[in-house]
């Protein structure tokens, strides 16, 4: 299974943009890049996903490198409620493909 590498932790100031990086150098052509986040004592929730093109939704933006070996989750204005662990995951449509979670990046937001 393709693996992802993320920094253990990052810090941000409130109302500033946050760029969360993810490396996935062994990504295959059919792998989608998914981002989930987990608030304290809760289950993970879906944030965004993409294949090749950059994606935007109400929560965040996803910037995917041209060679697809890395991606960046962008929170345009961090709030205290964005403090969470962010997981970058690769998945594809093959039967039996699982969501494999690494350690993720713990985002701390300072007021």
Which residues in the 29-58 window bind another protein by CB under 8 A? Answer: 34, 36, 41-46, 49
CB distance 5 to 27 below 8 Å: no
Cα–Cα distance, 76 to 79 (Å, whole number): 10
Regarding 17 and contact with another protein (CB under 8 A), the answer is no
Pairing of β 61-64 and β 70-75: antiparallel
How many CB atoms within 10 Å of residue 64?
A: 20
Task: State which residue, 20 or 44, has the beta carbon closest to another protein.
Answer: 44
Residue with Cβ nearer another protein (17 or 102): 102
For position 1 contacting another protein by CB under 8 A, the verdict is no
Shortest distance in whole angstroms from residue 51 CB to another protein: 13
Q: Which is nearer to another protein, 81 or 111 (CB)?
A: 81
Which range, of 12-20, 21-29, 64-72, 95-103, touches another protein by CB under 8 A? 95-103
Parallel/antiparallel/unpaired status of strands 32-38 and 84-91: antiparallel
Contacting positions for another protein (CB under 8 A): 34, 36, 41-46, 49, 87, 91-104
């Amino acid at each position: 299974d393709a693996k992802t590498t993320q920094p253990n932790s990052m810090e941000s100031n409130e109302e500033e943009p946050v760029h969360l990086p993810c490396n996935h150098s062994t990504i295959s052509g059919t792998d989608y890049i998914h981002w989930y986040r987990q608030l304290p004592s809760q289950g993970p929730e879906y944030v965004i996903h993409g294949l090749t093109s950059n994606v935007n939704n109400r929560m965040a933006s996803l910037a995917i490198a041209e060679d697809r070996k890395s991606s960046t989750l962008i929170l345009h204005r961090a709030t205290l409620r964005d403090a969470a662990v962010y997981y970058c995951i690769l998945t594809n449509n093959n039967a039996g493909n699982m969501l494999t979670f690494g350690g993720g990046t713990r985002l701390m937001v300072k007021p």
